[in-house]
Amino acid sequence: MSSPYLSIVIPLFNEAESVPKLHEELAAALDALDVESEVIVVDDGSRDSSFAALQAVHERDPRWTILRFRRNHGQTTALSAGFEKARGEVVITLDADLQNDPQDIPRLLATLDEGYDIVSGWRRDRKEPFLTRRLPSMLANGLISRVTGVHLHDYGCTLKAYRNVVVKNIHLYGELHRFIPAVASQIGVQVTEIAVNDRPRRYGSSKYGISRTIRVLLDLITVRFILGYSTRPLQVFGGLGLLTGGLGVLIGLILSIEKLAFDVDIGNRPLLTLAVLLVIAGVQLISIGLVAEILVRSWHEMRDRPVYVMRDVLEREEVEDGET
């Protein structure tokens, strides 16, 4: 079977009512393109009749491949499974709730052809309440952009286009799906964004709530560590260890001078306990950094894969002896 040029990956959870209209709109958008395509829908353990609706579409449209989880794992895992299955040179992700417009796909492809590796959708005119959804989103996007160094207006928009090399060289877990452009930046990608059409939800209810904020913030810390120190953890743990241990030693020296020079009783002073704790903490942090360095080195050696990804290779062909 020949590989398609375009793979559409759609995570889905309890969207039975949206499936027929999703197929109709997506088929119209793909039929208008002059490229071979496939659609990979990942049913993330839906508890309604979503899988039956997907089966009906699969029987009518051979482009549709359905992956079904036994239980709900979350959007990040669903996207990861879709990426693993995708065979296209270009992979586009979109939601199943019809808020993303399939008619934006040609614009994503055209922008990708300008030399980018990731084109992210920007829901500039969002159809959601300002105080409860848009304002928190603006603040979160500003924080993520500042922390990761990859500046986007809308990290939460699922509608994105990726080159195959991007999705095949990233590993997702937790809530990292919203950070894919930032995570992919460690392999040196060109990222841009374009305004896309945002439509109000037609069926069902949103799967996102304020409870995810804490998990997103924790994952943001994970992403910052991955981007800055994933291959050199000793620098962060060792730095903290030297700082805390050095502070403990400094306090200990001051207390020692007071004892030796001025005969001040330091045995019952809390500062002495603090100095000992800081030195112990410093030693532990440096030890954690050394263990992390060993684990990182072992992991890379076992993978037998480089920590870099080539963009282009230009080289001369070797000429055999006697040939001109």
Q: List pLDDT tens digits, range 141-184.
A: 888 888 888 899 999 899 999 999 999 888 887 778 888 898 88
What is the rounded distance in angstroms from the CA atom of residue 165 to the CA atom of residue 179?
A: 17
Check whether residue 210 and residue 253 sit in a common domain: no
pLDDT at position 320, please? 57
For 64, phi and psi rounded to 5 degrees?
-90, 125
- How far CA 151 is from CA of 140, 177, 192, 322, in Å, comes to 12, 16, 9, 55
pLDDT at position 292, please? 85
Check whether residue 195 and residue 282 sit in a common domain: no
pLDDT at position 201, please? 80
What is the rounded distance in angstroms from the CA atom of residue 27 to the CA atom of residue 22?
A: 8
Check whether residue 100 and residue 165 sit in a common domain: yes
Count of domains forming the chain: 2
Low-confidence ranges of the chain (pLDDT < 70): 1, 204-213, 299-314, 317-324
36 in any annotated domain:
yes
Contact present, 259 and 266 (Cβ < 8 Å): yes
State the CATH number of the domain containing residue 222: 3.90.550.10
311 in any annotated domain:
no
| Residue at which a domain ends, from 198, 228, 258 | 228
Check whether residue 204 and residue 246 sit in a common domain: no
Closest CA to 100 of 40, 175, 158, 48: 158
CA 180 to chain CA centroid, Å, is: 3
208 in any annotated domain:
yes
pLDDT at position 322, please? 55
Check whether residue 131 and residue 161 sit in a common domain: yes
pLDDT at position 179, please? 87
pLDDT at position 219, please? 78
DSSP 162: E
Check whether residue 240 and residue 222 sit in a common domain: no
What is the rounded distance in angstroms from the CA atom of residue 68 to the CA atom of residue 37?
A: 20
Helix (H) / strand (E) containing 45? none
Check whether residue 175 and residue 247 sit in a common domain: no
Contact present, 32 and 115 (Cβ < 8 Å): no
317 in any annotated domain:
no
pLDDT at position 284, please? 95
Q: What is the pTM of this model?
A: 0.77
